[in-house]
Structure 1
């Protein structure tokens, strides 16, 4: 979005460059993840009364304000504007209907109240990892309170809303986008520490003593985003506010199907691909070639290339059974992915460099743009993601549900959302800068559930119980928390003999069957990344609202499998959505619910579209 806002969008996001930690850009990523693309961004330095007046709703990122800047936002609200401010300068406290008390609470929880904004949001308390400023309510309504870790509610509000003059002012008492990042990416202070009892520094180490295991079945980050989404939906002006569904059109959930393969042969890989094919899905293989010298690698590549020559090719045929570039091309043509699985025991830079070179020199390039690191070893808070970005890798599936952390003190195991999310979001660094890599959690992991490698860290249940656990998580995604669930089915069991192969095959088959029976799409990580990137680039322009008719333009690029679903509120003020036309032709709608708000969903293919939505009392 341009830094020169135009009046064809209802929302202005104001970033504050003077914030000590500036997560304003990440707030924009949150809006996009929630499907709100009709917004513009501007720096606080460029704000003036005329600019603010163009937008019914302004979101103000955290950071200090001068007296003049505070007066600017005060005047905007009193004249009829709607403002959502995140941990704002105390100069705005009275505008927000609260009194600044000084001090803050760390390690607090957020329980919502029974409020129009909170319908459809979990009533269980959600974690807040950032300091929460202490306010007293004056004439604002509490949307959510601050609670202590023992569950006792304080008298301090966490989220409020109030009328002020002709406008409305809403307050978040903490820096929501920074909190979302901390929920999703774990504890920065735990970086580079082996803390979970499983050998090696892994992504899961960032969540030890960080995630409350009693909340892991809730996507805590997503629920807080959806609470913001409900506020945005309600405060975005007179016109109904369209948004995008999280998943491809027609999908109730997505299973992002992946399988790590360590030096395996074609005969081990193809049974897994055939299983996914049976359900009309696709699978990403993350491949670590077997160890070999430079000379052996060169000879193998020469032999593969010579085998393609007419007449003499048979002389050079390769009987090693390892995937050839021709095998890889055939799998990719069928929609499957084939990407890197680097070993980084001797350093993330060294490991990625070596495995990238080996992968390309074997003729497997270009590598798929998604990746999982071997053993999900992780460097820094986001250092591995930085290295991945250097190689053009744009989605990481390294955040991974496994190990002793997932076991309560009483011995029972937990399942759910380690990162608090079922949605992909860009990684963000400690200062709030976005990285060009999406974080996609791997929620359902075979080696955590079953004795795939007999590490001693797994639950050790049989294929039937492991499938039941996975299916329960699919139910939660379909029925309650729209999600793209990352799934890991290692290819290695297909090479380890009849018992392991039979268990892996039975488990994978049952999970795929159940997912598709519930309307979930089974996509490779590459297909999911392609959809995510297409969705992220959609804009809405030339938006007008005239006598009950909402009109706007959208452009959807190629690459989103099954298209994108546009959401239009079914009810708006005292009117109801009666008809939708796309480029002048009537379009059918499907009922979808997000955070307690009911929408009509319209499936859109790639192309340029003029949308008209007709509302009548």
Structure 2
């Protein structure tokens, strides 16, 4: 991208924008300009391969003849595919063109950063031999692949199979027993593991499900429902022991990854539709059922919105993994948020050019203290403000707030109009440039919520944001109040920041952080806000990072800070949450070795976790209760906490080697 200090409209046809690779070969692409013709964007025809590139912008027919305007170089780094894990006990088997890759995000969100990914077409005996648990998505497998999996399970491997068919269904002890269900509900059996501690109410899932019969030796873990109240008396999840070496197969009648993606991102078939009749098209239109001429049910059952339905289904997956792995040793994992916290408010305002809204709010947060608090450890109340350039704040003031740990950026706008990819690119180009000119001292922003929450299709805005360096999106906005009707909860089924997926199943390197608490929805219902936080802090265990919206047109920001302060819930910016999530997802658990009584493992904590990472280790094992936890420097202190019905030893996840002895 090149930005000019004045419009280049008279010379647009004479601007030559060239990009060359290390071999000095021109990269084929196209140049586009924003509305004011002050920004030129070069879009390569194909994705750039890793390497160093040079860029040059020339004016070939200006008033001074040929004139070099700018030149620079940049590097495209080698990147590990987003679906690839760092290695460990879990094997993720994927199939191209499906949502299988999203299991990588599910495992990361559940703190299981100890997995490897392999394409099903390349699956080998060696891949399976190096892992204790495998996940395979729906879809046919070859006879050879089925035999590999069956042999591995017979020798003690543990398989989670989504919608298994053919030999894998036989291995799981299930068989077809009815018509396919297009969408549905499930109810977990919470009377015994692995369901203990999880939600016992029916939950909605998305995507097709198979009605299955089950053999007598397969345990029903969850039951399939056609609606929230009508049981089909068919299993949604089963668990079967295979052979005498401890191998097990858990079969899901639906695909959890598909369900989680759709729960979080909405119905792709409704993309581009203004279903609620409130222009422009917004993310809530992907969930809103009652459109003109369409009496469809809402895509999210708002009577169930109090439950983080996607998160609870992910927790069932992680619980099954942990339980099935138990005979191979206790499986360590990471807690969701810094220092073991269970709830956090992501404070984010949209400042539409107020005189002092952002400044007054930031000053109130500064006054909250405590004295000598550390921003990098989430001890200070901090927030994000996305602002118009007309917001009354000087560059010096903005720089001082940024130095104090606040997050400031442009509140991009399409003027409340639906957009095309081109017009959205132009909006970001225009607004980010204007913001940079107004506040040159600020770092580049990495979060965004667009004005009016315009969202004209399923994922184009995510892709455009990524191109502009934005990686935390807060556009999924729980609104309008007439639809929500005071039901504080989870439109997306989740309280966790996780990456988006495109419609072909590829992970996009932008996190979706839902805006759960919108001022116009909940300003008159502070008790609903408090209830949401209490359910995260309390026995329900509906943990979450809860996104907020306020624009200083009411006192919702003041309400939020009062409730959070009283409940001791941290308040952070979108930038802080992004930094933490990247750091946690990049931390690893390695080299687990179980000798029957002692577990050896390593933690590698990414620097961005700022010594706040917490590792969880099951308190019980097949050898008994945890007796001692040691690191290289001696005994490690831990606390015992019950998490969703399971007791864990929780300890500081600092980089090092650990030995946990049970007996």
Q: Normalising by structure 2, what TM-score?
A: 0.79
Instruction: Give the corresponding residue for 1:314.
Output: none
User: What is the CA-CA distance between 1:573 and the residue it aligns to?
Assistant: 2.1
**Aligned partners of 1:229, 1:48: CA distance in 2, in Å?**
24
Aligned residue for 1:550, secondary structure, equals strand
**Aligned partners of 1:143, 1:100: CA distance in 2, in Å?**
18
Q: CA RMSD in A?
A: 2.2
User: What is the CA-CA distance between 1:253 and the residue it aligns to?
Assistant: 1.5
Does residue 438 of the first structure (1) align with residue 511 of the second (2)? yes
Instruction: Give the corresponding residue for 2:301.
Output: 212
Instruction: Give the corresponding residue for 2:499.
Output: 426
Query: How many aligned residue pairs are there?
Result: 550
Instruction: Give the corresponding residue for 1:510.
Output: 562
Instruction: Give the corresponding residue for 1:16.
Output: 95
| 8 A Cα contact 1:230 1:597, kept in partner | no
| 8 A Cα contact 2:284 2:478, kept in partner | yes
Does residue 287 of the first structure (1) align with residue 387 of the second (2)? yes
Deviations 1:230-270 (A, max 9, x none): 101111242110000001014232111111101134x3322
Does residue 488 of the first structure (1) align with residue 549 of the second (2)? yes
| 8 A Cα contact 1:2 1:40, kept in partner | no
Structure 1 residues 562 and 483: alpha-carbon distance in aligned structure 2, compared to 1, 3 A threshold: farther
Structure 1 residues 179 and 262: alpha-carbon distance in aligned structure 2, compared to 1, 3 A threshold: same
**Aligned partners of 2:100, 2:159: CA distance in 1, in Å?**
15
Deviations 1:296-355 (A, max 9, x none): xxxxxxxxxxxxxxxxxxxxxxxxx82222222111111110022111245222221211
User: What is the CA-CA distance between 1:547 and the residue it aligns to?
Assistant: 4.9
| 8 A Cα contact 1:254 1:485, kept in partner | yes
User: What is the CA-CA distance between 1:486 and the residue it aligns to?
Assistant: 1.1
Deviations 1:556-579 (A, max 9, x none): 222225511100111112411222
**Counterpart among 146, 150, 156 of residue 70 in structure 1:** 146
Instruction: Give the corresponding residue for 1:613.
Output: 660
| 8 A Cα contact 1:288 1:340, kept in partner | yes
Aligned residue for 1:85, secondary structure, equals strand
Instruction: Give the corresponding residue for 2:395.
Output: 325
User: What is the CA-CA distance between 1:68 and the residue it aligns to?
Assistant: 1.4
Higher RCO (Cα < 8 Å, 6 or more apart)? 1
Instruction: Give the corresponding residue for 1:149.
Output: 227
Deviations 1:14-48 (A, max 9, x none): 1123xxx4112111110110000111111112222
Instruction: Give the corresponding residue for 2:53.
Output: none
**Counterpart among 261, 276, 299 of residue 351 in structure 2:** 261
Structure 1 unaligned spans of 5+: 291-320, 451-460, 494-499
Deviations 1:448-470 (A, max 9, x none): 223xxxxxxxxxx2xxxx32221
Deviations 1:556-608 (A, max 9, x none): 22222551110011111241122223332322212333332221111235xx3
Instruction: Give the corresponding residue for 1:393.
Output: 470
Structure 1 residues 92 and 600: alpha-carbon distance in aligned structure 2, compared to 1, 3 A threshold: same
**Counterpart among 363, 375, 388 of residue 274 in structure 1:** 363
Aligned residue for 1:117, secondary structure, equals coil
Structure 2 unaligned spans of 5+: 1-79, 289-297, 370-379
Deviations 1:88-120 (A, max 9, x none): 233311111112236411121111123311111
Instruction: Give the corresponding residue for 1:550.
Output: 599
**Aligned partners of 2:313, 2:94: CA distance in 1, in Å?**
20
Aligned residue for 1:160, secondary structure, equals strand
Larger CA deviation: 209-218 vs 73-82: 73-82
Instruction: Give the corresponding residue for 2:292.
Output: none
Larger CA deviation: 588-597 vs 189-198: 588-597
Structure 1 residues 382 and 5: alpha-carbon distance in aligned structure 2, compared to 1, 3 A threshold: closer
1:567-586 equivalences under 5 Å are: 567-586=616-635
User: What is the CA-CA distance between 1:150 and the residue it aligns to?
Assistant: 5.4
Structure 1 residues 226 and 79: alpha-carbon distance in aligned structure 2, compared to 1, 3 A threshold: same
Does residue 341 of the first structure (1) align with residue 445 of the second (2)? no
Instruction: Give the corresponding residue for 1:456.
Output: none
Aligned residue for 1:246, secondary structure, equals coil
| 8 A Cα contact 1:471 1:514, kept in partner | no
**Aligned partners of 1:585, 1:413: CA distance in 2, in Å?**
52
**Counterpart among 536, 544, 547 of residue 477 in structure 1:** 536
| 8 A Cα contact 1:84 1:169, kept in partner | yes
Larger CA deviation: 171-180 vs 275-284: 275-284
Instruction: Give the corresponding residue for 1:127.
Output: 204
**Aligned partners of 1:219, 1:6: CA distance in 2, in Å?**
25
